[in-house]
Amino acid sequence: MATRMLGYASFIMLAIATYGIFFVAGPISGEGDAGRIVYFHVPMAWNAFLAFFVVFGASIAYLRTSNPRWDRLGRASAEVGLVFTTLVLITGAIWGYPIWGTWWSWDPKLTTTLILWFMYLAYLMVRSYAEPPRGPRFAAVVGIVAFFDVPIVYMANYWWRSLHPPPAIGPLAEQQPSPTIVWILMLSLVAFTILYAFFVRVRVEIEQDEAEYATMLGEAPLGA
């Protein structure tokens, strides 16, 4: 029931955010309508960071307790985070072509984000293919190590010379944008955060069902 409510809430919030992006927000100066990509590119990036923070916490909890619930949460969050990071890379490339004149640049922010994507792909591969019962433990170690790339991605603008614009809002923002931009960005952030929670919850339910089924058959859970 709670999962279904999350699904409906994410659908409604995404619909409202879409309306805001196309009908309320104006073009961003110097970027035209390509600048509106920021309204879903940035919230997806923040949610990818949130997803990887959850993987980090769940991995530590799993190594301390060996409770499979933490392993399931970590795996679910890593998968959803990887989907969001994939979309961040794609939408960033589509934004970059009209603004920078190229789809891709080996800029520190983009390169560290691509490394982040590969690290969580590695996490899921280790989790799926390593022999049980070591798979979850190996994956938990990868989940902890990979998280150290998240602050590097965030700080890349400040540590190295970067083409990528600095954060639009937050403590490191260089100038505060207009209230309309902040309002729509926040709306979109809330919508994507609810969607993230919905996806993770469904993914954890799948893991639980498959684990129960495997237990019923007297086998180790798939990929465990």
Q: List contacts with other proteins (CB under 8 A).
A: 18, 21-23, 27, 31-37, 40-41, 44, 83, 86-87, 90-91, 94-95, 97-98, 195, 199, 202-203, 205-206, 209-210, 212-213, 216-217
Token output for 131: 């022999």
CB of 25 to other proteins, least distance (A): 11
CB of 128 to other proteins, least distance (A): 14
CB of 23 to other proteins, least distance (A): 6
CB nearer other proteins, residue 144 or residue 199: 199
CB of 32 to other proteins, least distance (A): 4
CB of 63 to other proteins, least distance (A): 27
CB nearer other proteins, residue 7 or residue 167: 7
Cβ-contact 79, 108 below 8 angstroms: no
CB of 15 to other proteins, least distance (A): 11
In which residue are the tokens 């990509």 written?
A: 37
Token output for 200: 């993770």
For residue 8, give Cα distances in angstroms to 15, 195, 198: 11, 9, 9
Q: Which of 42, 30, 60 is nearest to 187 (CA)?
A: 42
List 28's β-bridge partners, or say none: 32
DSSP states of 123-136 as a string? Answer: HHHHHHHSPTTHHH
Cβ atoms < 10 Å from Cβ of 126? 19
CB nearer other proteins, residue 61 or residue 93: 93
CB nearer other proteins, residue 144 or residue 200: 200
CB nearer other proteins, residue 34 or residue 152: 34
CB nearer other proteins, residue 89 or residue 144: 89
Cα–Cα–Cα angle for 220, 127, 40, rounded to 5 degrees:
130
CB nearer other proteins, residue 60 or residue 168: 168
CB of 205 to other proteins, least distance (A): 6
- Burial (CB count <10 Å: 0-12, 13-18, 19+), residue 85: buried
Residues whose CB falls within 8 Å of the CB of residue 124, separated by 6 or more in sequence, listed in order: 75, 78, 79, 82, 139
